[in-house]
Amino acid sequence: MSGTIGVIGLGGMGGGIAGRLLETGHDVSVFNRTASAAAPFVAKRATLAATPGAAAAGGIVITMVANDAALEQMASGEGGFLAGLPQGGVHMSMSTISVALAKSLAERHAARGSHFVAAPVFGRPEAAGSGKLWIMVSGAAEAKARVRPVLEALSQGIEDLGESPEAAPTGKIAGNFMIAAATEAMGEAFALLAKSGVDTRAWHAMLSRSIFACPIYANYGRFILDRAFSPPGFKLSLGAKDIGLALAAGQEKQVPMPFASVLRDRFTASMAQGRADLDWTSIAVNALADAGLAETHG
């Protein structure tokens, strides 16, 4: 066992993580900005932390929050975990954050004698709750070794991307870009097929059991075909943020990304048309609407 593990952020993903850790026998301390979200976990044996810093007192703290601003607030706001984490402690960031913030957090931890490990995940809340996430991890070797049992409890696969704190966040951002690109490609293909009178479900079924027999194509394609955009598995506004992070990283590293540029325009149009809170697969509605096909889904 690795002592009490703090979990900050109890939304779908963070809640899944906290629940899984409790089920696998870990001691867990939880913090959420809206305290009511913590109750179900306290009922299952978790400790309620009064501040992010208190959640970090056991030496390992996991963050799973909405965006950079929220993480910064948890880290350095009043009662933040940067101050609350003991010497030698490890902060493991599991949500999607910017490369710039990863770098900055790593430096601030180093200055205080604590450690930053980036461990962003692929998978939906159910996967988090059942230990079926896929995790990319990067950071100092010792710190990674210390959190390894935690990662194993949560995942069905772990890929180590080395020592740089920026590596795993970049990998996660690139991965989300790939998912959005697959979504847009399906949207365009469905529009072409539908206006050509081809059975889109039969077409999708075949590709999903042959050359594209993988979760993204099988599941996301079905969401689009079913217009299953609500409730969202992952909000379009968050996807928009991630494509923004990909383009920001690309600009910083001088990498033109024309597909990412098209995607940014798609996400922006989707938000302008009122789909911010639907599932991010609803960017495919743009391709359908441009073809004169779709009712808009506002």
Residues 278-297 that bind its own copies (CB under 8 A): 286-287, 290-292
Measured from the CB atom, the residue of 84 and 187 that comes closer to its own copies is 187
In the complex, the smallest distance separating the C-beta of residue 115 from its own copies, rounded to whole angstroms, is 20
Annotated catalytic residue within 144, 172, 241, 253? 172
Contact call for residue 69 and its own copies (CB under 8 A): no
Residue with tokens 């059991």: 209
Among residues 221, 214, 219, the alpha carbon closest in space to that of 193 is found at: 221
**Which tokens in the block code for residue 189?**
């293909």
Measured from the CB atom, the residue of 83 and 179 that comes closer to its own copies is 179
Residue with tokens 């950071």: 139
Contact call for residue 277 and its own copies (CB under 8 A): no
Q: Please confirm, yes or no, whether 172 is among the known catalytic residues.
A: yes
Q: Count other C-beta atoms under 10 Å from residue 134's C-beta.
A: 16
Size of the site for its own copies (CB under 8 A): 79
Alpha helices in 81-230 (DSSP H): 81-84, 99-112, 125-129, 141-154, 167-195, 200-208, 215, 221-226
- Are the beta carbons of 57 and 29 closer than 8 angstroms? yes
- Classify strands 155-160 and 60-63 as parallel, antiparallel or unpaired: unpaired
In the complex, the smallest distance separating the C-beta of residue 34 from its own copies, rounded to whole angstroms, is 27
Q: Site map for its own copies, 115-154, x if CB under 8 A?
A: -------x-----------x-x------------------
Q: Site map for its own copies, 71-110, x if CB under 8 A?
A: ----------------------------x-----------
Residues 21-40 that bind its own copies (CB under 8 A): none
Binding residue for its own copies, selected from 43, 87, 210, 295, defined by CB under 8 A: 210
Residues 233-272 that bind its own copies (CB under 8 A): 244, 246-247, 249-251, 253-262, 264-266, 268-269, 271-272
- Classify strands 28-31 and 5-8 as parallel, antiparallel or unpaired: parallel
DSSP letters spanning 111-141:
HHT-EEEE--EES-HHHHHTT-EEEEEEE-H
Measured from the CB atom, the residue of 111 and 272 that comes closer to its own copies is 272
In the complex, the smallest distance separating the C-beta of residue 53 from its own copies, rounded to whole angstroms, is 31
Q: Count other C-beta atoms under 10 Å from residue 150's C-beta.
A: 24
Binding residue for its own copies, selected from 217, 223, 229, 280, defined by CB under 8 A: 217
Measured from the CB atom, the residue of 50 and 293 that comes closer to its own copies is 293
Torsion of CA 95, 99, 104, 108, to 10 degrees: 50
Contact call for residue 198 and its own copies (CB under 8 A): yes
Measured from the CB atom, the residue of 174 and 238 that comes closer to its own copies is 174
Grouping H, G, I as helix, E, B as strand and the rest as coil, residue 95 is: coil
Q: Site map for its own copies, 163-182, x if CB under 8 A?
A: -x-xx--xx-xxx-xxx-xx
Signed CA dihedral, 164, 170, 172, 175: sign only: negative
Helix (H) or strand (E) holding 160: strand 155-160
Q: Which residues are catalytic?
A: 172
